[in-house]
Structure 1
């Protein structure tokens, strides 16, 4: 088939339009903690693919988002503390920008700006629109960080649904996928993790289960005796166990409880998030409460058992291809051991790799 001059021009125009579209970028302002940032990744993926963007950046707390570039669909990150976003909260009548204002440069490269800060039509959004329009025309969308009580959908779906509604995306392009890990582990992550656990005296020829017994809220923490008994059961089956303790656990747990943890299995405390990634990259399974680290483990594709008490797993359960959620909504969740549930957890974690627990 011979192409005419008009056909060739049409092809060139279409190609040029596609290149221009892919050159556009998006950014998300996400002020939340680790779990919130990980549950934002499906939105990043939808924006990138459905809008054909050349990349989506994330502005948030660097201690939570620094691990994402190179391992996820996030192109690059910027610390929320490195910008002057607080200036956007003033009343629009009092908001002012000087020539070459740093705020203008912050948003000059983005065709799509999504913010979890401020309210729709509020001062922050109005000032953000004004700031972006000082350099170019951009789409500004404000999303709510927490879903309403009657939302009836997972928080990640809530993010994507809000965005799709405001950007007029068709429903088939606004779906949250759970079959693939949100965070891709690298060979370097695994190598560093293996080196770390070997230095701790862990036998790398055995399976390793990482247990994180803490959370940001006390009401989310399964009674510590449950974690200790599960750890003992696993060790009796010659499975290595490592307790992962963050600053909240080190500060909150009683001295006696910390002594029991260290007496039961090896413990790793105060690890930066990058080192937690290394550790999880070489683990075989993970047990934790409704916490950011549990979302991280699940997002990395690690076989994960997440313990839920009063919070609703339908809204907040971790996303991953190998997640099992177990819930005990009774008062005993934080106050006393539950031997029956311990057995279920231990069996799930001890299951051979070829028969992983499923959600």
Structure 2
């Protein structure tokens, strides 16, 4: 079956496609239209990816369909995750892909459903008459990393990502300073590369961390390319970060991941991987720092054990 999936969104939103793409990739020809950098990480499981922010995808939103159409044919199914209150997108898709059955869904599950976003995506594909077992797809994603390297890959990095695209999700800079100090104590004798990962959202914090890392033996990786980022995370032993797209990527790359939640719902956004520990805040940040450090100490004591996923 030829399937076109349209899911424009941020990195984490796009990565939620990966579990079902892995399940379908051997038996279906899949084309995805989405946004960078998310689509950069789908290539192993899809036939083609299109950047929806580039021409000619503006035609999807025109009041009347354009004669030139859109790429992605031939398609048997067109599955689109976009709001379409007036039916414009539905009408355009049916015009551009007349041989396909077209389905539109909201990008995310309703909050009251409490359903993981990756499972929701699978459920939508099932409603579009694509053969999938959503529970099994989600289970497999927690057992076998979706983006893991070969078993021989050597993990010699400890990586922290002290930001995200949403400030409400983030813990304070003093929180991360203390955490870096503690991590330095744990790993000062270990042959690990200590790295602070910063993206565009943390650009203003770069001078602060630059001064800090010089005194503590860390290095900074600032806005690496998609290939360089995935390579780093595939060689990361332990990753610590907020609820962000990069944290999802780390878990899917097989790194032991401590995910720090604050303002988002872990039922929807729990990172998917076999070695994920999800932490939610205590009443105050000082207590929460102690909780995170205990988790790190537990990992140090047994670096190859699978942490719990609460």
TM-score bracket relative to the smaller structure = 0.7 to 0.9
Given the alignment of the two structures, is residue 345 of structure 1 paired with residue 295 of structure 2, yes or no?
Answer: yes
Superposition deviation, residue 66 in structure 1? 1.8
Q: Decide which of 108, 115, 133 is 1:153's aligned counterpart.
A: 115
Three-state SS of the structure 2 residue aligned to 1:150 is helix
Given the alignment of the two structures, is residue 85 of structure 1 paired with residue 57 of structure 2, yes or no?
Answer: yes
Instruction: Determine the C-alpha separation between the residues in 1 that align with 2:85 and 2:119.
Output: 19
Superposition deviation, residue 63 in structure 1? 2.7
TM-score with structure 1 setting the length = 0.75
Q: Is the 8 A contact 2:198 2:206 kept in 1?
A: no
Q: Which residue of 1 aligns with 2:12?
A: 35
TM-score with structure 2 setting the length = 0.86
Instruction: Determine the C-alpha separation between the residues in 2 that align with 1:166 and 1:59.
Output: 17
Change (3 A) 1:282 1:256: closer
Instruction: Determine the C-alpha separation between the residues in 1 that align with 2:282 and 2:82.
Output: 32
Instruction: Determine the C-alpha separation between the residues in 2 that align with 1:217 and 1:173.
Output: 29
Change (3 A) 1:114 1:329: farther
Q: Is the 8 A contact 2:258 2:277 kept in 1?
A: yes
Q: How many residues align?
A: 302
Instruction: Determine the C-alpha separation between the residues in 2 that align with 1:249 and 1:128.
Output: 38
Q: Is the 8 A contact 1:323 1:357 kept in 2?
A: yes
Gaps (5+ residues) in structure 1? 1-23, 195-203
Instruction: Determine the C-alpha separation between the residues in 1 that align with 2:72 and 2:80.
Output: 12
Detail structure 1 runs of 4+ shifted over 3 Å in the superposition. 45-49, 168-175, 254-258, 336-339
RMSD: 2.8
Between 113-122 and 287-296, the greater mean CA deviation after superposition: 113-122
Superposition deviation, residue 84 in structure 1? 2.2
Three-state SS of the structure 2 residue aligned to 1:242 is strand
Gaps (5+ residues) in structure 2? none
Which has more radius of gyration?
A: 1
Superposition deviation, residue 78 in structure 1? 1.9
Change (3 A) 1:121 1:307: same
Q: Decide which of 130, 148, 160 is 1:184's aligned counterpart.
A: 148
Q: Which residue of 1 aligns with 2:183?
A: 234
Q: Decide which of 58, 62, 65 is 1:95's aligned counterpart.
A: 65
Instruction: Determine the C-alpha separation between the residues in 1 that align with 2:282 and 2:106.
Output: 27
Given the alignment of the two structures, is residue 271 of structure 1 paired with residue 224 of structure 2, yes or no?
Answer: yes
Q: Decide which of 75, 78, 103 is 1:141's aligned counterpart.
A: 103
Q: Is the 8 A contact 1:153 1:315 kept in 2?
A: yes
Q: Decide which of 264, 275, 282 is 1:322's aligned counterpart.
A: 275
Superposition deviation, residue 281 in structure 1? 1.7
Q: Is the 8 A contact 2:103 2:128 kept in 1?
A: yes
Given the alignment of the two structures, is residue 298 of structure 1 paired with residue 257 of structure 2, yes or no?
Answer: no
Superposition deviation, residue 249 in structure 1? 1.0
Three-state SS of the structure 2 residue aligned to 1:284 is strand
Correspondence 1:276-287 to 2 at 5 A? 276-287=229-240
Superposition deviation, residue 148 in structure 1? 1.4
Q: Is the 8 A contact 2:4 2:30 kept in 1?
A: yes
Q: Which residue of 2 aligns with 1:76?
A: 48
Q: Is the 8 A contact 2:259 2:276 kept in 1?
A: yes
Q: Decide which of 196, 212, 217 is 2:166's aligned counterpart.
A: 217
Superposition deviation, residue 145 in structure 1? 1.1
Q: Decide which of 120, 127, 130 is 1:165's aligned counterpart.
A: 127
Superposition deviation, residue 296 in structure 1? 0.3
Q: Which residue of 2 aligns with 1:199?
A: none
Change (3 A) 1:348 1:307: farther
Deviations 1:17-69 (A, max 9, x none): xxxxxxx32121121111111111123245446xx42x212222233222332
Q: Which residue of 2 aligns with 1:5?
A: none
Q: Is the 8 A contact 2:20 2:137 kept in 1?
A: no
Instruction: Determine the C-alpha separation between the residues in 2 that align with 1:303 and 1:155.
Output: 21
Instruction: Determine the C-alpha separation between the residues in 2 that align with 1:34 and 1:172.
Output: 21
Three-state SS of the structure 2 residue aligned to 1:44 is helix
